[in-house]
A = this chain, B = another copy of it.
Amino acid sequence: MRLTVLSDYSLRVLMYLAARPDRLATIQEIARAYAISENHLMKVVHGLAKGGYIETVRGRGGGMRLAGPADGITVGAVLRTVEEDFAIVECLGNQDTCRITKACRLKRVLQLALAAFMAELDQWTLADLVSRPKALLDALDIEAR
């Protein structure tokens, strides 16, 4: 059971921005910091901008930043926006061919478990994730400013 890479990278980008709130960041520097592909990140950043989590400033010296305070963005909210597939099993998705769906109680049980998973993630904000920004920036081998 895994989140998509898109979700994983989305959270990493938001943590990066939350750890350095006073400046604009570029896709290039984030890709370099995490040692991941710029192409992947472009799609991630597009999704985050569309979801209203980040805003971008064009032109020379431009880049991206969080669109609002880090303590107002929960992990749960971000995943609901960017995770493409929360169908834990076939019958929770769009392409259900299981013959017992109508009589099956497993579907409901898995929905309850997923709700418990998301309820936990709704308790945590980006600010909680970067409450020690220096440690995070050290790990990324970048300066705080």
- A contact residues, total (Cβ < 8 Å): 54
Choose one: B83, B100, B118, B139; the contact of A136 (CB below 8 Å).
B100
Q: List the number of copies, as a whole number.
A: 2
Collect the chain B residues with CB atoms within 8 Å of residue A57's CB. Answer: none
Is there contact, CB below 8 Å, between A109 and B75? Answer: yes
A38 CB to nearest B CB, Å:
16
A-B contact pairs, 28 of them (CB 8 A): A1-B2, A1-B3, A1-B4, A2-B2, A2-B88, A3-B89, A7-B89, A8-B90, A11-B106, A34-B98, A35-B99, A99-B139, A99-B141, A100-B140, A103-B135, A104-B129, A104-B136, A104-B139, A105-B128, A105-B130, A105-B131, A106-B129, A109-B121, A113-B117, A113-B120, A115-B120, A116-B119, A116-B120
